Chains A and B, each alone.
Chain A
Amino acid sequence: MNDDDRIFKALADPTRRHLLDRLFERDGRTLGQLEFGLEMTRFGVMKHLRVLEEAGLVITRRQGREKLHFLNPVPIRLIHDRWIDKYREPRVSALADLKHELEGKELA
């Protein structure tokens, strides 16, 4: 599995996306804070966090006695630059061309 596969696989699960959203709202959380309110065992949350960590989407850092989880947005940025931008630009310009063509006809 390459890096892109790992990222798409990590993002394919709703619980993992939810965990990323939680870290986006408030970064640097402990496992206890992340599992709060989730209907899942601590072990289940740990498993999801490990998948996110292996994909590079979550980074853990020790701070004193606590292990804090940080959202790493760089892989998502890379996916965006690689997969989203590429398909967005031509479509936007295609729409712009269509607009010009239609407006040109109206004037004529």
Chain B
Amino acid sequence: MTVTTDTAVTTQVHRVWIKATPQAIWDAITQPEWTERYGYTNRADYDLRPGGAYRSYPSEPMKRGAEAMGIPLPDVVVDGEVIEVDPPHKLVQTWRMLMDPDTADEGFTRITFEIAEGRGGVSKLTVTHELEGAPKLALIVGGQAEETGAGGGWAWVLSDLKSLLETGAPMDMGDGLKA
């Protein structure tokens, strides 16, 4: 696949409305016992202060899935640094995917999570991912690599997060990723 880089258009914005409090959404993003339950089921480890480390570890089902496909996983699959913390409304961090040598070489990208309380107990979560210089990662998080087994990116993760918070159970993806 040919990947062309257009530095003017390297930001992705994803938004979802969830019937949950901002605090519940904040916890689901930052607390490992929650991050293991949806999307890629990674175990997030945040040091929630500016300059603090962010690391994401693969879950057991994810490790088994990768091994079955013949892909050895590193111990840390994503790393980064916390830039701004304003719980439960705003989190800014850098983010580098280490699972694939190509995305690791693309270096750090930047993610901003914004959570706003709306009417009727519905909160708005906006994820802005600045992907300058990371065209391969942009394909993965944009969901365009789903057919290759890379998961559905942000749209998939946020759809699953909404299911988990609203129904208490993640979607049944039938992909064996769930614990």
Q: What residues on B are CB-neighbors of A76 within 8 Å? A: 155
Interface residue SS majority, chain A: mixed
Q: A59-B126, A78-B162 are in contact. Are A70 and B12 (CB under 8 A)?
A: yes
Q: What residues on B are CB-neighbors of A78 within 8 Å? A: 16, 159, 162
Q: How far is the CA of A26 from the CA of B128 in the complex (A)?
A: 16
Q: How far is the CA of A61 from the CA of B130 in the complex (A)?
A: 13
Closest to A77 in B: B155
A86 to B: closest C-beta gap in Å:
11
Q: How far is the CA of A43 from the CA of B143 in the complex (A)?
A: 32
Asked if B171 is an interface residue, CB under 8 A from chain A, the answer is yes
Q: How far is the CA of A72 from the CA of B178 in the complex (A)?
A: 26
Q: Please, how many residues of chain B have a CB less than 8 angstroms from a CB on the other chain?
A: 22
Cross-chain contact A27 with B162 (CB below 8 angstroms): no
Find the residue from A28, A70, A72, A76 having the highest chain B CB count within 10 A: A72
Cross-chain contact A56 with B13 (CB below 8 angstroms): no
Asked if B46 is an interface residue, CB under 8 A from chain A, the answer is no
Q: What residues on B are CB-neighbors of A107 within 8 Å? A: none
Q: How far is the CA of A59 from the CA of B9 in the complex (A)?
A: 14
Interface residue SS majority, chain B: mixed
Q: A27-B9, A77-B152, A81-B171 are in contact. Are A59 and B159 (CB under 8 A)?
A: no
Cross-chain contact A74 with B15 (CB below 8 angstroms): yes
Chain A positions 38-74 with a Cβ under 8 Å from a chain B Cβ: 56, 59, 61, 70, 72-74
Q: A73-B143, A74-B158, A77-B155 are in contact. Are A56 and B17 (CB under 8 A)?
A: yes
Q: What residues on A are CB-neighbors of B126 within 8 Å? A: 59
Cross-chain contact A73 with B14 (CB below 8 angstroms): yes
Asked if A21 is an interface residue, CB under 8 A from chain B, the answer is no
Q: How far is the CA of A81 from the CA of B162 in the complex (A)?
A: 12
Closest to A78 in B: B159
Give 15 pairs: A residue, B residue, CB < 8 Å, sorted on A.
Answer: A26-B9, A27-B12, A28-B8, A28-B9, A28-B11, A56-B17, A59-B15, A59-B126, A72-B15, A74-B14, A74-B15, A74-B16, A81-B159, A81-B163, A81-B171
Chain B residues proximal to chain A, CB less than 8 Å: 6, 8-9, 11-17, 126, 128, 143, 152, 154-156, 158-159, 162-163, 171
